[in-house]
Structure 1
Amino acid sequence: MAAQPHRPYSGLSFVLPAIAAALLLAGCASTRGLAPQGHAVEADALASSRSLEPHALSDAAFPAADWWTALGDPQLDALVREALQDSPSLAAADARVRQAQAQAGLADAARGPTLDGSAQYAVAQLPKTLAPGEMSDKVMHNTVLTVNFKWPLDVWGGKRAEYEAALGQARATEVDAQAARLALAANVARGYVALAQAFDALDVAQREQARATRLHDLGKQRVDAGLDNQLQLRQAESLIASARQQAQAAQQEIDAGRNALAALLGKGPDRGLEIARPQLLQAPAPALPGVLPSELLGHRPDVVASRWRVEASSRGIDAAKASFKPSVNLSALAGLASVGLSDLFSSDALLGFGGPAVSLPIFDGGRLRSNLAARDADYDLAVAGYNQTLVGALHEVTDAVQAARALDAQIASATQARDAAQSALDIAAARYDAGLGTQLDVLSAQRPLLQLEQQLTALNAQRYAATIDLDRALGGGLAPAGPDAHPRSDTNPDLARAPTP
């Protein structure tokens, strides 16, 4: 029989039918009935205009990046800068960012071709029981040099989707790191306000102790003169002891506040001893940009991070769907092999193998469907997290601005009441000095003054805290980049309608 002529592309006659058969069998693994259920909420659909409108100013801007400077204390500014430089919590957030970026890099690398090289030298000796005759007991030297090429073609875009999903998670982690910085700055500012409140409470206790001491001295004079008895003296001593206890409690709060700030700075407790008394100057009036709530999405790092996770989960669904379809891989192996080094680089030592390969799922026990169902659930969880974060963001903004307005009114009323109580005490003390009044009159006037001074201390601290909460709720001057909106009806049409920062 005559030899058939060599046809270099005759292998295509086998490959093309194989691909066609693979496409026909692909229906054995179906995505039928599987789809995500989550629906992203439109920000403007969350009714907030009636709650925010009385406080909104159309020309008001979002907070500046250094929003804490509005409180007017240079020491606070320095503490926040120190915390943002040295805090271990931020180092952990940065490490998570690098970890997520590395995962995205791995997903990207899986999309491209690989080329591996290997070299092997082996010595073999076959026993007579396996190779009788001339081959037995003969030592053979084998040398093999190979280059292996592999390229999994991304025909359906599944590997790209996996990469984009990992990239979306990395972007979310980057925004999380920004959120961690915002949270740390807010915690330092809040701790600083608590320290200021503790110092103010110490002042109140010391003033009360001074008033009680004066009352005691006056009472002693009256006892010595025979005008009063020991009862009034003991009552004054009780007031002094009570004020002293309040001063001791305030000092404990000061020590605890300094320790807490030192920990936020990532330093030991001795660093807290260097923190001087806060000198907060002002709590700015609350103001809201008139573009809320839609513009809030681009300024809140937690909302932007949640939006990135929705996008990443959506791409994960695309990747899972692509695994239902046939995969095509190109591979080639080329090298040199010989039983001796002298023949290794001769034409007879050439070694080669390669070509395209097609594979597809036919029966996998439900693995692919379960994987897609899990990706759908991941998407639903991401959407639910996004919706909850958005609702929580508007809640925080509304709470902060309403609290600031209400506290301003309460502080004004409490200040008026405190001034009236001080006048009443001055009158009662003057009458007692002149012998026209009793110690009971002084005690009755002194008690509400103490309560009002303590109340004002707490209200002022709450007012500063409301300023911090509002700046944080409005994003703290950050504007993290969010994913672009683009409709993808093949995954979930609701994603195209979801609000994008």
Structure 2
Amino acid sequence: MFRMTPLIIALGGTLLLAGCASSNGLVTQTTLRDAASVPVARSLAGAPLSAAAWPSERWWQAFADPQLDALMDEALANAPSLDVADARARKAQAQAGIAEAARKPSVGASAQVLGMQLPETLAGNDIGGSFKVANLLMLSLKYNPDVWGQDKAKWQAAVGNAHALEVDAHAARLSLAANIARTYVALAQAFDQAALAQAEITRADGLLVLDRQRVKAGLDNGIGLAQHQSQAALASQQQQAAQHQIEQLRNALALLLGAGPDRGLAITPPQLAQPKLMVPDTLSSDLLARRADIVAARWRVEAAQHGIDASKAAFYPSLNLSALAGLAAGNLGDLFGNKSLLLNGGPALSLPIFEGGQLRSQLRASQADHDIAVASYNQTLLAAMREVADAVQTAHALDTQLASTRQAQTAANSAYRQVQQRQHAGLASQLDVLNAQKSLLQLDQQLAALTAARRAASIDLDQALGGGVAVNSSANAQNTTASK
């Protein structure tokens, strides 16, 4: 009892001094926004709703292009950009392991030969003035009981960051797939533009033949010939530009696949279908678990909250336990004798009393990190809702424009066929046919551009909806973390 009295007095004294370093008055400034507080229903009015409207895990298969499916599989297996994201996730997991190891006892062993000579003026004639050798074998134990949960909070913060980076790796895969799909759609448009430019070249060449015949027969002064020569040169330039764009887009796809430019040469013209517009009727509630960036942002909020807990725990006393057991002797022969036992150890209490405001500043920094994480989460949530609304509104507008353009194309095609029929009947000339073809080719170009834009809007919507894979919700993951 008397031996424990100094320890009890020390513990009581440290607790009495605990008020000297206080965290009172320091609080966070921001709060998480609820998805239901971000209205989006009116912006999505008119879009078809369905509970089954969430994109599938392989959402790009809605384009019904086997070549695109193969490119996606190749990229997801080989792209270096994904290796970077995966490596970052593994590093975060390792850092969480380091934080977890700090919560456990550590045991170490050592062997040492120690030589020393003390001066006689300090140690006297008995032990001073001669060189002494000591042989040591030691086993040490260190353990810091996590009385206030500081180490646990640090570990939970590291786990939260690790989960956030794991989700970031998922987001990197979605971003890669979306970029491949967009580039592939642009490649399809470039092939369409090249084909239309070639059709315009053929039309312009036909006009040049007629112009030369009219000039030779004295029926024209050559002005029309010069105009059509200019049109032919412009069509040739457009065809060359489209071909160059095809080469550049093939190179871009090869890079996204993690391959060299020659890989792009094997990509054939795309054969894409047009996905239908559909919006989930559970958008506000389920988007939080499907958008990787939202889930990652929530994990970072939780990690920052654990950082606050760790900073608060630093205000309280810490208890350290250490023990050392070993053998020590001047001669190796005596090392394992009965008199060579060496023991050392005991508990140690420490408490910050006057630290110049360091702990309060650290707590302020942790709270600021939390506020940053919360603000980033709120911004990510707002951006996600906006991206969904933008994609839906864009797709809806393009559907309307496509319908009008197709009507105009149908009318132009009907007029073109009528002119051809009149030519066969001898009531119209080849010049009339070529002039009627011009408006039809112009509408074809507009239709190709609108179709590409509509396909891109479908990709934007699939990406905005999270790409088809429901990421584990941070709430469930937090329950799992807290149970440990």
Q: Same fold (TM over 0.5)?
A: yes
Instruction: Tell me if 1:60 matches 2:61.
Output: no
Alignment-derived partner of residue 329 in structure 2: 338
- Among 30, 33, 50, the residue aligned to 2:25: 33
Question: Distance in 1 between the 2:350 and 2:435 partners?
Answer: 91
Q: Give the secondary structure class of the aligned counterpart of 2:475.
A: coil
TM-score (norm 1): 0.90
- The structure 2 residue matched to 1:357, chosen from 348, 351, 360, is 348
Distance 1:451-1:486 versus aligned 2 partners, 3 A rule: closer
Query: Is 1:98 matched up with 2:86?
Result: no
Structure 1 position 340, deviation (Å): 0.9
Residue 259 of structure 1 and its aligned partner are, at CA, apart by 0.5
Aligned partner of 1:302 among 293, 309, 322? 293
Of the three residues 184, 187, 199, the one matched with 2:191 is 199
TM-score (structure 2 length as normaliser): 0.93
Q: How do 1:46-445 and structure 2 match up within 5 A?
A: 46-125=38-117, 133=125, 138-280=130-272, 282-424=273-415
**Which amino acid is 2:284 matched to?**
P
Q: Equivalent residue of 1:50, what SS?
A: coil
Amino acid at match of 1:169: N
- How far off its partner does 1:125 sit? 4.8
SS at match of 1:325: coil
Counterpart CA distance in 2 for 1:45 and 1:131 is 78
Contact 1:31 1:369 in 2 (8 A): yes
Shift in Å, 1:476:
0.7
Residues 10 and 335 of structure 1: CA distance in aligned 2, closer, same or farther (over 3 Å): farther
Distance 1:360 1:123, change over 3 A: closer
Structure 1 Cα separation of the partners of residues 44 and 36 of structure 2? 13
**Which runs of no fewer than 5 residues in structure 1 stay unpaired?**
1-8, 489-501
Contact 1:308–1:482 under 8 Å retained in 2: no
8 Å CA contact retained: 1:34, 1:373: yes
C-alpha separation in 1, matches of 2:377 and 2:120:
73
Measured after TM superposition, the shift of residue 422 of structure 1 is: 4.1
SS in 2 for 1:356: strand
Q: Distance in 2 between matches of 1:285 and 1:201?
A: 24
Aligned to 2:482: none
CA separation in 1, counterparts of 2:28 and 2:200?
Answer: 65
Quick one: which amino acid aligns to residue 378 of structure 2?
N
What is the CA–CA distance in structure 1 between the aligned matches of 2:248 and 2:162, rounded to whole Å? 38
Q: CA deviation at 1:132?
A: 7.0
Q: Distance in 2 between matches of 1:56 and 1:387?
A: 27
Q: CA deviation at 1:210?
A: 1.1
Aligned-residue offset at 1:483: 2.2
1:183-231 deviations in Å (ceiling 9; x for gaps): 0001001110010000000011011111111111222222333322322
- Secondary structure (helix, strand or coil) at the match of 1:49 reads coil
Q: CA deviation at 1:396?
A: 0.9
**3-state SS of 1:143 partner:** strand
1:223–1:376 distance in 2 versus 1, CA, 3 Å: same
Aligned residues, how many?
Answer: 478
Q: Among all aligned residue pairs of Structure 1 and Structure 2, give the percentage whose two residues are the same amino acid.
A: 54
Aligned mates of 2:62, 2:14 — CA distance in 1: 67
RMSD over equivalenced CA pairs, Å: 2.4
Q: Secondary structure at the match of 1:51?
A: coil
* SS of alignment partner, residue 44 of structure 2: helix
SS of the residue corresponding to residue 372 of structure 1 reads helix
Residue 474 of structure 2 aligns to a residue whose secondary structure is: coil
